[in-house]
Structure 1
Amino acid sequence: MNVKSYVLLASLLPAALLTSCGSSAKEEEKKEEESVSAVGALGALKEMAAQAEDAQKNGPVETVDFRSLKELLPADADGLARKEATGEKNGAAGFAVSTATGKYANDDNSETIELEIIDAGGTGMLMGMAAWSVIEVDKETANGYEKTSKMGDYKSYEKYDNDSKAGEIAVLVNKRFIVSAEGRGVSMDKLKATIEEINLAKLGDLK
């Protein structure tokens, strides 16, 4: 799963503020909704600023060896066999990100899941990868939904399209690890079961 797509969620924050500033006096109900949205956006911006300040104050955190993350990848994703497992560590300017990726599918590839475990080291880079962790999203359409929620003790983000049976779910562990599953031809329950195959408590304890 390409968690960089979550950067788009960060754009919801300034957008909410701008929308609130340009609200029409003729629509009182709309003004109230926009005010609530702006308050939420301000809170999220403050949280992001606080985390960025902490990251700058504490300096870079050494990420775990990606091989340790690979060991946590399950042999199958709720019945789908693992076809590939890879890992890597990339970084620049003193910051690094470790990643392990598992790819799972049935025999004819009509059902596929990509599972990814990322250690962002608790740096400011985390906000670019998991902007959803400091905002609230709750949206429904005729074909699916998108929302932030909780999966056990962990903040989560999920999105699903009923027509294509395509979706994604991600959780944030210990303010540094992102575990995400993206699938096609599968249910959201199957994606959640795939996340549950990982020992998230053990992941959170890695150093």
Structure 2
Amino acid sequence: MNLIQRAKNITLDPKAEWPVIAEETTNTADLFKNYVAPLSAIPAIASFLGMTLIGISIPFLGTIRTPIMSGITTLILTFVMGLVGIYLISLIVDALAPSFGGEKNPMQALKVTAYAFTPAWLAGILHIIPSLGILGALAGLYSIYVLYLGLPVLMKAPQEKAAGYTAVSVVCSIVMMIAFTYVIGMVGGASMIGAGRIPTSAKTEEVGGALGELAKMGQQMEDANKKMEAAKKSGDPQAEMKAATDALGTVMGAGGQAEVVDKDKLKALFPEALGNLKRNSIEGEKTAMGEFKISKAEAKYSGDNNQQISLTVTDTGGSKMFGAMFAWGIMEQDKETDTGYEKMGKVNGRPTFEKFQKDGPSGEYSLLVAGRFIIETRGQNIDMAAIKAASAALGYDKLEAMKNEGVK
């Protein structure tokens, strides 16, 4: 397989290339080494160059660039999680196949997923100029079309069901990638490379927790697939769909997730004022895909002298995905410069991250409460003490009291 020729063919003439791909024999290692890794590195490297070296020009503010260490951290996380994401999306595609009249085949699912991403990866070079990033998003839409053409060929799904198969696969993948992006943003902002470390006080079970949860999810996925096979043999369409949904929930790390707290109950936690800052907006939302659910509420406050605070609380329902990927919960960092500082570790047993810039001043403070509630507080023209006070105003004890709500 010639990488350049394959990338050209699948992008310019996917209808003719998919039958060729369907007949090829390969393995996971070779596919990742010879195709997925080289191409998926394009957007990661281009984004690093664009955001770290070139930057974004904002009127009246000049050019804003991501710090080098944060940029490198984000580059590595984006690349690694991109590889993991391709594999997990292929599991979604494979798990859904029987529900849309297709045939389960893990290798074919991996091939159709990997090759369908080609246009998006190639267009990732546009991220070197941040303002052109929207064009990369358009290429992502073309990748969806390429996937739509490939599913009937590689997964043997009837053509009339290809649109539904594609739509459900894409929506499930988007939910999963949103979670990935959230974690990349949280960890990337912490500049862990060269600065973070696992504290000597961390317990063995904490250090191995992420790997243990991933292994557990793998076993759950295997069990879910067996249930799908049994449901298929029963001939009951509703049983098949429920089994498929359970499998997807496991893939996205929702196995064992509690029912999230209602968004209105989260909104009720926000005070009308934070000191002399008055609340000027509040909103809530709930996102759900199968068993994977997240509820969120956000309020914004402002005061004299352009003081601003944004306060957000997100309930992950104790999702295994978040539990496995919040590695910053066992990391430690204390970095200080002439212009500000970054800290990461634990406060009263809760994973925390804080960042402060003297110029402005501006800062952010994030923490995980009761293993499921993420509180994020960002402030402009205000000191860190006020930012932390705003975070605490939500009532950590109230959130702790909700930790078992919705637990199955």
- TM-score band by shorter chain is 0.7 to 0.9
Q: What do residues 134-155 of structure 1 show as CA deviations (whole Å, max 9, x unaligned)?
A: 2112111110000024444533
**Structure 2 contact 198–330 (Cα < 8 Å) conserved:** no
C-alpha spacing 1:39/1:188, structure 2 compared with 1 (3 Å): closer
Query: How far apart, in 2, do the equivalents of 1:9 and 1:50 lie?
Result: 25
Deviations 1:62-87 (A, max 9, x none): 11111111000111123210000100
Alpha-carbon shift at residue 187 of structure 1 (Å): 0.3
**Any conservation in 2 of the 1:9–1:131 contact (CA below 8 Å)?**
no
Which residue of structure 2 lines up, in the alignment, with residue 8 of structure 1?
188
Letter in 2 for 1:70: K
Q: Residue 164 of structure 1: CA displacement?
A: 2.2
Which residue is 2:307 aligned to?
111
Partners of 2:372 and 2:198 lie apart in 1 by 27
How is 1:18-167 mapped onto 2 (pairs within 5 angstroms)? 37=197, 46-53=208-215, 58-107=255-304, 110-127=306-323, 130-167=326-363
- After superposition, the Cα gap between the structure-2 partners of 1:38 and 1:85, relative to the gap in structure 1 and judged at 3 Å, is closer
TM-superposed deviation, 1:185: 0.5
* CA separation of 1:160 and 1:130: change in aligned 2, threshold 3 A: farther
Sequence identity percentage: 32
- Residue pair 1:86, 1:102 contacting (<8 A) in 2 also: yes
Kindly tell me: are residues 77 and 59 of structure 1, through their superposed partners in 2, closer, same or farther at Cα, counting changes over 3 Å? same
For the Cα contact (< 8 Å) 1:159–1:167, is it kept in 2? yes
Letter in 1 for 2:209: E
Comparing 154-163 and 51-60, the one that deviates more: 51-60
How far residue 168 of structure 1 moved from its aligned partner, in angstroms, is: 0.3
Shift of 1:59: 2.3
What amino acid maps onto 1:139 in structure 2?
A: K
Q: TM-score, normalised to structure 2's length?
A: 0.40
CA RMSD of aligned residues (A): 3.2
Q: Deviations over 1:113-145 (max 9, x none)?
A: 000011011113425884422211211111000
Q: Which has the higher helix share?
A: 2
**Relative to 1, partners in 2 of residues 1:129 and 1:201: Cα closer, same or farther, differing over 3 Å?**
farther
Q: Is the 8 A contact 1:145 1:161 kept in 2?
A: yes
Aligned length: 184
1:169 paired residue number: 365
- Partner of 1:193 in structure 2? 389
C-alpha separation in 2, matches of 1:11 and 1:68: 34
Structure with max Cα Rg: 2
Distance 2:296 2:336 in 1: 31
Distance 1:140 1:10 in 2: 12
What SS is found at the alignment partner of 1:180?
strand
